[in-house]
Amino acid sequence: MPSAAGPALTLAAVGAVAVGVATANVVLTADPAPPAVEQATGALALGSPLPAPAAPPAPDAPQGSAGYTGWSADRAVSVDIRVENGSAKAYVCDGAAVESWTTGPVAQDGPTVLTAGDGSRVEYTVRDGAASGTASVGGTTWEFTAPRAPAAAEPAAPPAGNTGSVGDAGSGGYGGGY
């Protein structure tokens, strides 16, 4: 006749392991002790002046990479700004005669100013998720607003016939080169 001790011992061993796992789970997931509170060493005396308020937040300073794409107020030119690791470049184009590439460092305080060797200039500030400023090419200046562009999963391939070189309008598409 088989002994009942074998299954009973197995059941006892499983129970002991379950208790051990449950105990370890409780110990490892317990909330950590709250940090110690430091005592203030210099309390404000009654009637003493309050500390100065914190400075207002600075304009949005893009960190990492970002893109802003928009139009001039009169829709005469498109403005495409790309920011990556503290540097920015802008492409201004009307699809016909106006085309300019400007580059420069991203400003931490005040507007970012991008320039090109031909005198073209893009000056902008980022606030509330949009770059706004002026673009000057060939003696004409346009005001623009360029909302932040959604991040693309992969760069799109240029249209057929477009080599991607500057000035190549190809199939009437973007002559980019980012």
What pLDDT is attached to residue 30? Answer: 52
Nearest in space to 81 (alpha carbons), one of 172, 147, 171, 167: 147
Question: What does the pLDDT read at residue 61?
Answer: 45
pLDDT of 90 strictly over 60? yes
- Return the pLDDT at 172: 40
- Confidence band for 64, pLDDT divided at 50, 70 and 90: confident
User: Average pLDDT of 115-140?
Assistant: 96
CB 116 within 8 A of CB 102: yes
Q: Which residue in the block uniquely carries the two structure tokens 């914190």?
A: 54
Average pLDDT, the chain: 73
Say how far residue 123 (Cα) sits from the centre of its chain.
20
Band the pLDDT of 108: cuts 50, 70, 90: confident
Report the pLDDT averaged over residues 18-42. Answer: 51
DSSP 148: B
Helix and strand counts by DSSP (H, E) for the chain? 1, 8
pTM comes to: 0.53
Q: What is the mean pLDDT of residues 132-153?
A: 92
Checking if the pLDDT of 83 tops 70, the result is yes
φ, ψ for residue 9, nearest 5 deg: -65, -40
Give the residue-averaged pLDDT of 71-75: 96
Q: Does residue 136 surpass a pLDDT of 70? A: yes
